[in-house]
Structure 1
Amino acid sequence: MKYRQLGDSGYFIPNMILGTATFAGSTEFFKKWGNVQVDEARELVKTCVDSGFNAFDTADCYSLGDAEVVLGEVLKDYKRNEIFISTKTGMWMSENPNDIGTSRTKIITSVEASLRRLQTDYIDLYHLHCYDAKTPHLEALQALNNLVKQGKIRYFGVSNYSAWHLMKMLSIADKHGLQRPIVHQAYYSLAAREFENELMPLALEEKVGTLVWSPLSGAMLSGKIMRKSQDTKGSRLGTDGVWDMDMEHLYTITDALEIVAQESGYSFPQISLAWVLSRPSVSSLVIGARNTQQLKANLSAGKIVLDSKHIELLDKASQRKLAYPYWHQRFTVDNRDPYPVKRY
């Protein structure tokens, strides 16, 4: 198990975090992802802790709070100062118009509710789960800073922000002498590299750590879907709980993964996770699992260092045609080896 620095803070976390969107499964949407109950969750958490991975990520919207309840029930068996808990707010929780977004009221109310469900006095890392166009950045930042002063959260970050939204928040924090978000939890994988266009350069320039969610693209890189065979039985892939994917592009990636797997002996998920861990700005990966066997295999990817020729093969297979102005920037300045073009 390897530790990495959490953004620009002085705190270090494991390079793998157990995500708990599969816990509880008490709503129709999250049931498609999984329905891990307390006993099963206890085994998954124990597997992580025994392997040295003591970090867990959840959100208030996962099964409308029930995932936090399951995680809290399990974690009460451990010493609090030896466990890292990350949770989020901002997504829809009810039909009440004030029960979505990141207003001061929503943030404060959500933190108090998460603390109760998690059975803890503080949250190590608190995320704004989604961008809220209705709430001023300053309002959210002031609420988060007050919660840090009160000791209810230790650090905070954002999730699913565009680069200009995150940069604006960082600038407002600096202008008003407030603590900055230190991490961005973002979607990034071999099959989804849009993060590299602006969010990765921003992360590097502003020292914002990246926690990657769905580094296997919702199990699309699990090895169950390949050009010549598909096996979705007993998997989330057999439901409509996954998102659209350019299948020809996916097959190009799985063709490359098949070559790397044959030459390295690693599985598709292990290779895909190791590739993301090799990327700049990445602090940790948030991974999910339905059973301990799958979890142990995925955790082992945290120790894998891919051969440079395999990374080059995967890079080439997963690269998409760049949107404007990124293709123009690469075309015009590539010969000068500029930052950030060749850094990734």
Structure 2
Amino acid sequence: MQMTTLGRSGLEVSKLCLGTMTFGTQTGVEDAHAQIERASEAGINFLDSAEMYPVNPIRAETVGRSEEIVGDWFAKTGRRGDWIVATKHTGEGQKAVRDGAPITAETIPAAIEASLKRLKTDVIDLYQFHWPNRGSYAFRQNWEYEPWPGDRAATLQHMHDALGALRDEVVRGTIRHFGLSNESTWGTAMWLKVAEETGGPRVVSIQNEYSLVCRLADTDLAELMVNEEVGLLPYSPLGAGLLTGKYQGGAIPAASRMDLNGNLGGRKSERVFPAVEAYLGVARDFGLDPVRMALAWTLRRPFVASSIFGATTLEQLEHLLPAAELVLSDEVLKALNAVHHAHPMPY
């Protein structure tokens, strides 16, 4: 398994990161623990969770269950030291968590304590903000999100206050490093600037959606990440399952994500299926497995630190693992870029 350094953190993480957002809904405890075991055997040392997980659906009664399942494995095996653990503080507006309260200096300590308890650990290696209070281009909101009128002073004050609280947690030993999720280029730049001014923990990573069918990170954000040494942690590198091809031709497999939530969180569109078919065509032309091709493509990008994959079943995880060693030729990359030019922003 290839390893990489996460930003300026000094953490050595595997190029594949085990996502846990289905642990407790689509993925039962036994299968979840089997996935953790198998991923570790394959050389993966990095897992990602969040206080609001599991999803599909998000419910108040299941909030935190994914972290609990991971924590139970740590307690059962005594192998917490084998893993770099990342989790996230829920952003504003998610009613199932603290009734949709925003991220504040006051919510941070309690949220960290709750995650530590569920994860059955003394420290979180990477603590992330799930999305910014001010709103986001993420979750298909890039079509409507308007950053004006924004309250710059209030946003910067929030960053000062939040980084102060995070600095206290680093000193206390409950977290090691800080990362963002679903952030913009400007937002990331401001977090970096405020950290320099205050001595607060510096952003080491940003977890945004990124795949062959969602390349929003390829321009301004990519430039920032490369120059400021902030690693991208792509989520949904398979386009929420679209790039597997399993939804082509109107198919909706039972218990799949589309079966559970209908439109894949806004990713289902008239334009996405022709785009997927074109990517599947590249895989066929070059004799590649489309799932491994799509995942391997994210790993090759120079600003990607580790790509977060989610597997509902152990069998799916086994199928994904060889992507870590797959090297895509220049011809394949050229063909994939040609599809991107023909089918930009399909959702």
Match of 2:116 in 1: 115
Match of 1:79 in 2: 79
- Determine which of 191, 209, 221 is the counterpart of 2:243: 221
DSSP 3-state at the match of 1:319: helix
How far apart are residue 81 of structure 1 and its match? 1.9
DSSP 3-state at the match of 1:157: strand
Q: Distance in 2 between matches of 1:111 and 1:93?
A: 19
1:58 is aligned to 2:57: no
Q: Distance in 1 between matches of 2:270 and 2:238?
A: 17
Match of 1:165 in 2: 187
Preserved CA contact (<8 Å) 1:104 1:143: yes
Q: Distance in 2 between matches of 1:234 and 1:96?
A: 29
Preserved CA contact (<8 Å) 1:61 1:93: no
How far apart are residue 42 of structure 1 and its match? 1.1
How far apart are residue 110 of structure 1 and its match? 0.4
Preserved CA contact (<8 Å) 1:160 1:185: yes
Match of 1:267 in 2: 289
Per-residue CA deviations over 1:21-71 (Å, capped at 9, x if unaligned) read: 10112xxxxxxxx2x222111111111011111221100011411111111
How far apart are residue 279 of structure 1 and its match? 1.2
How far apart are residue 7 of structure 1 and its match? 1.1
Amino acid at match of 1:186: N
1:236 is aligned to 2:238: no
Match of 1:310 in 2: 332
Per-residue CA deviations over 1:273-316 (Å, capped at 9, x if unaligned) read: 11111112100111101111110111211111111111111112
Runs of at least 5 residues in structure 1 that lack an aligned partner in the other structure: 26-33, 324-344
Q: Distance in 2 between matches of 1:264 and 1:317?
A: 14
Q: Distance in 1 between matches of 2:329 and 2:283?
A: 12
DSSP 3-state at the match of 1:158: strand
Q: Distance in 2 between matches of 1:246 and 1:37?
A: 27
Match of 1:67 in 2: 66
How far apart are residue 6 of structure 1 and its match? 0.2
Preserved CA contact (<8 Å) 1:19 1:57: yes
Instruction: Give RMSD over aligned pairs.
Output: 2.1
- Structure 1 stretch 206-215 or stretch 70-79: which is displaced more? 70-79
Q: Distance in 2 between matches of 1:70 and 1:95?
A: 18
Q: Distance in 2 between matches of 1:90 and 1:238?
A: 25
Per-residue CA deviations over 1:187-220 (Å, capped at 9, x if unaligned) read: 1111111111321111112111111111111111
Match of 2:178 in 1: 156
Match of 2:276 in 1: 254
DSSP 3-state at the match of 1:104: coil
How far apart are residue 93 of structure 1 and its match? 5.6
DSSP 3-state at the match of 2:307: strand
DSSP 3-state at the match of 2:225: helix
Match of 1:327 in 2: none
Distance 1:155-1:235 versus aligned 2 partners, 3 A rule: same
Distance 1:3-1:273 versus aligned 2 partners, 3 A rule: same
Match of 1:332 in 2: none
- Structure 1 stretch 208-217 or stretch 83-92: which is displaced more? 83-92
Preserved CA contact (<8 Å) 2:17 2:308: yes
How far apart are residue 94 of structure 1 and its match? 4.4
Match of 2:2 in 1: 2
DSSP 3-state at the match of 1:274: helix
How far apart are residue 150 of structure 1 and its match? 1.1
1:204 is aligned to 2:226: yes
Q: Distance in 2 between matches of 1:122 and 1:95?
A: 22
Q: TM-score, normalised by structure 2?
A: 0.84
Amino acid at match of 2:72: E
Amino acid at match of 1:72: G
Per-residue CA deviations over 1:109-164 (Å, capped at 9, x if unaligned) read: 00000000010111111101110237610011111111111111111101011111
- What are the equivalent positions in structure 2 for 1:5-16 lying under 5 Å apart? 5-16=5-16
Taking only the aligned residue pairs, the percentage that are identical comes to 31
Distance 1:322-1:285 versus aligned 2 partners, 3 A rule: closer
Match of 2:210 in 1: 188
Q: TM-score, normalised by structure 1?
A: 0.85
Amino acid at match of 1:83: W
How far apart are residue 80 of structure 1 and its match? 2.1
Match of 1:292 in 2: 314
Preserved CA contact (<8 Å) 1:184 1:210: yes
* Equivalent residues, number: 312
DSSP 3-state at the match of 2:112: helix
Distance 1:5-1:320 versus aligned 2 partners, 3 A rule: farther
How far apart are residue 246 of structure 1 and its match? 6.5
Q: Distance in 1 between matches of 2:234 and 2:86?
A: 13
Distance 1:95-1:89 versus aligned 2 partners, 3 A rule: closer
